[in-house]
A = this chain, B = another copy of it.
Amino acid sequence: MKTILTISRQFGSGGRLIGRLVAEKLGIPFYDREIIDLAAQKSGFASEFIKENEQKLKGLSTYAHTAPLWGGGLWGNFDNFESRIYAAEAEAIEHYASLGGCVIVGRCADYVLKDKAECLNVFIHADIESRAKRVIEVYHDESDEKRAQKLVRDADRLRARHYRYYTDAEWGDSANYHISLDSAKLGIEKCVELLVRAYQVVEESSKEE
């Protein structure tokens, strides 16, 4: 196996779980936390710091209130941090991709590996109601449905911004992915089945070449 399955996903769509299950069924590695740890080694940042700040998801809310104290200077530093985290994660992604077929979730891996590895790029999405419900159930979030929907929308907005900033392409535009699936319509299990089959198809055709 040499194909790298990259999974981009809307928050709450179950994309991470789908990726893990596909990797299990195919018997290939699933890289998630490992990317953070290797990026930490490469950048000198602590793993926890990277986890908190990759994609500015938590970063903005953690630091925003302190900005006035620093006369806005922290924003400059923060941008700098984020670029260094991105670069270190990109290096980690390239390293793991060089080891052979695997599944990598998020972190613009589709873009990082463009023209560098044989990839099958996947996008997992679902309607906002299903995702809010999933956030409440799976993450034991105690939000009501309305608050959960806001959480999901905010996370989407940040992921879209992050993706656009680094890749200059639109997050979620079907043209950027080889397969996009609606996990609410098809169900997690069936998405896994379809992706396992698609992965095999791409592997077979790359052997034929």
* A residues with CB within 8 A of B: 120, 123, 125, 172-175, 177-182, 185-187, 190, 193-194, 197-198, 201-202, 205
By beta carbon, the residue of chain B nearest A201 is B190
- List 24 A–B pairs whose Cβ atoms lie within 8 Å, in order of A's numbering: A120-B185, A123-B174, A172-B173, A172-B175, A173-B173, A174-B174, A174-B177, A174-B180, A177-B180, A177-B182, A178-B181, A179-B179, A180-B180, A185-B202, A186-B198, A187-B201, A187-B205, A190-B198, A190-B201, A190-B205, A194-B194, A194-B198, A194-B201, A197-B197
Q: Which of B175, B181, B205 contacts A179 (CB 8 A)?
A: B181
Q: Which of B174, B187, B205 contacts A173 (CB 8 A)?
A: B174
How many chain copies? Answer: 2
User: CA A172 – CA B169 in complex, angstroms?
Assistant: 14
* Cβ of A3 to closest chain B Cβ, rounded Å: 11
Taking CB atoms, residues of chain B closer than 8 Å to A173 are 172-174
